[in-house]
Amino acid sequence: MNLAAAISDWRAALGAERVLEETAAQETYGRCTSGARRRLAGAVRARAADDVAKVVSIAARHGVPIYPISTGHNWGYGTSLPARDDCVVLDLAALDRIVAFDSGTGIVTVEPGVTQQQLADFLDAGDHPFLVPVSGAGPSCSILGNALERGYGITPHADHFGAVTAIEAVLADGRVYRSALAEADGTDVDDAFKWGIGPYLDGLFTQSAMGVVTRMSIALARRPDAVRAFFFGLPDAADLGHLVERVREVIARYPGVVGGVNLMNARRVLSMSIPYPRDRLGADGLIPDALIDELGRANQVMAWTGFGTLYGSRGVVRAAQREIRAVLRPYAKRLVYISPFSARWLARLGRLLPGFLKARVGRSLEVLETSVELVAGRPNETAMPLCYWIGNQAARAPGPLDPARDGCGVAWYAPLIPMRAERVQAYVAMVDEVMREHGLEPLITLTSLSERCFDSTIPLLFDLDDAASTANAQACRRALLEAGRAQGFLPYRVGIDTMDWLVRDDATCWQMVRDIKQTLDPGNIIAPGRYA
């Protein structure tokens, strides 16, 4: 590896101000919420898509590994850090063009730096009736980056990579990959038809290190006539399996109308609505179950809370509301439907309440408003304060939330769970046991990916400034991965510090990944160690 020669060539090609050496790169990109640490060799900030091929070619010539990032806001999974030491970060945030938009079909082509908020502003400015494929990661996160990680949301196109129709990427030798249809001057039809012709290769660039994606086309969901969020509670945790069966029926019965359903345990819901009760913790450092019950009664939070969304014409949504109510009986209690307009009205009312009522109810109504806005395709920060719950409120800097900048300790465990009663109950028991053993709050969310499967997102919250707390959280995540593997609950994505756990076996799948990587990138230049 000839790093000095690579830096010299990059500065000549892009300008000295766009190339950072080790110390500056470490200061700029070295913070990570999961407690991961990486030694960075430098950073390069591309200005345009044409720069990327130059950067990659120089890296290959001098044997310097590079690690591409979009906005670097991969909270809880690595933030901006590479999977291995001694990489040069390739920052693509300045590639922030909305390259093309078809106002009839809703297909938009974006570069890596285009954020959820930028796309929302673009759609608003043109009065285009389409929804942003939002996620809980916040307005500053990349549309392209989330789709490449096969992220998901709760809007109609919940599977974000499923909505991707075309990809353009720079390979390790500097060549530019496009599909067979695009190469044959069929860009329009390539954008309109996901699978193209011949072997489907676009998927190689998701959760991988096969190339640097510089452009992506994604089909946006059209804004429906009616959006209704629905909320309900499950009083008895013992009935969770029965509720899962009813939720599965709702999703299967109304494909395209039900955007998805979240199930959250009481601890997870309370983390969104009340301050962390630090002065009332038990001897084990956790919130006692009796206090969870007390706080739940005070805040109208049951053992489990369900949250889903309906999309469609007003007539279809009204009909679905009636039938869903019947399906969820007798387990779902206090089932209510609410529109974005009603949520905004209630939040404004909450801000006018007297002091004691405002403190008790106002925060919950604000969370309700922003949650409904999110599922209506409006990016916001409603899910991000969770990162600050344990003790980083005082560290919050003014302006947009940035958990890495503010020193939050959060890492994610995100396994897939079959949507069957006994499997969900076994999973919840497993998470509860492992997290309590490590003194971490078991905050559990189950999000439907289909009528067959949940993804569960478990935040591990800890004190990033405390080495023992960080080590404990990392040990807990490893324990969750191992306990989950033993029961067949495997992750849909992992962070940079657990990729070694994922690919440690010699399964045929990972052998194929190695073979493809060796063919496309024999020098292992692009993102070494990432899902490989």
Contacts by 177-182, CB closer than 8 A, 24 or more apart: 177/201, 177/205, 177/211
Angle at 276 between CA 272 and CA 281, to 5 degrees: 135
**Rounded distance, CA 498 to CA 413, Å?**
10
Of the CA atoms within 13 Å of residue 381, those in its CB half-sphere come to 11
Q: Kindly tell me if the per-residue pLDDT of 392 is higher than 80.
A: no
pLDDT at 18: 96
Buried b (16+ CB within 10 A) or exposed e, 162-187: ebbbbbbbbbbebebbbbebbeeebb
Of the CA atoms within 13 Å of residue 132, those in its CB half-sphere come to 29
pLDDT at 211: 97
Distances (CA, A) of 7 to 15, 16, 41: 10, 9, 10
Q: Which two tokens stand for residue 186?
A: 């069929």
Which has more confidence, 13 or 370? 13
How large is the angle between the packed helices 363-375 and 266-273, nearest 10 degrees? 110
**Rounded distance, CA 219 to CA 153, Å?**
14
Q: Does domain 404-491 have CATH number 1.25.10.10?
A: no
Eight-state DSSP code of residue 396 = P
Q: 3-state DSSP call for residue 142?
A: strand
pLDDT category of residue 96 using cuts at 50, 70 and 90? very high
Q: CATH 3.30.465.10 occupies which residues in the chain?
A: 98-219
pLDDT at 503: 86
Torsion (CA) 444, 449, 450, 452 in degrees, nearest 10? -50
Q: Kindly tell me if the per-residue pLDDT of 531 is higher than 80.
A: yes
Torsion (CA) 180, 185, 189, 191 in degrees, nearest 10? 80
Q: Kindly tell me if the per-residue pLDDT of 224 is higher than 80.
A: yes
pLDDT at 395: 64
H or E segment to which residue 344 belongs: helix 340-351
pLDDT at 108: 97
pLDDT at 124: 96
pLDDT category of residue 362 using cuts at 50, 70 and 90? low
What mean pLDDT is predicted for residues 18-31?
96
What mean pLDDT is predicted for residues 147-156?
89
Average pLDDT over the chain reads: 93
Specify whether the CB–CB gap between 470 and 410 falls below 8 A.
no
pLDDT at 347: 75
H or E segment to which residue 365 belongs: helix 363-375
pLDDT category of residue 158 using cuts at 50, 70 and 90? confident
pLDDT at 457: 95
Fold topology of 98-219: 3.30.465
pLDDT at 475: 97
pLDDT at 121: 97
**Rounded distance, CA 181 to CA 166, Å?**
10
Classify residue 264 by burial, with Cβ atoms within 10 Å: 0-12, 13-18, 19+.
buried
pLDDT one-digit tens code per residue, 29-76: 999 999 999 999 999 999 999 999 999 999 999 999 999 999 999 999
**Rounded distance, CA 419 to CA 402, Å?**
34
Please compute Rg for the chain using Cα positions: 23
**Rounded distance, CA 8 to CA 85, Å?**
21
Q: CATH 3.40.462.10 occupies which residues in the chain?
A: 404-491
pLDDT one-digit tens code per residue, 414-447: 999 999 999 999 999 999 999 999 999 999 999 9
Q: Kindly tell me if the per-residue pLDDT of 155 is higher than 90.
A: no
pLDDT at 355: 66
What mean pLDDT is predicted for residues 118-140?
94
**Rounded distance, CA 380 to CA 395, Å?**
20
pLDDT one-digit tens code per residue, 111-125: 999 999 999 999 999
pLDDT at 357: 59
The owner of tokens 């052998």 is 511
pLDDT at 358: 61
Q: Following DSSP, what letter does each residue of 441-501 receive, concatenated?
A: ----EEEESSSSEEEEEEEEEE-TT-HHHHHHHHHHHHHHHHHHHHHT--BS---GGGHHH
pLDDT category of residue 377 using cuts at 50, 70 and 90? confident
Is the C-alpha dihedral spanning 372, 378, 384, 385 positive or negative? negative
Q: Write out 181-221 in H/E/C secondary structure.
A: HHHCCCHHHHHHCCCCCCCCCHHHHCCCCCCEEEEEEEECC
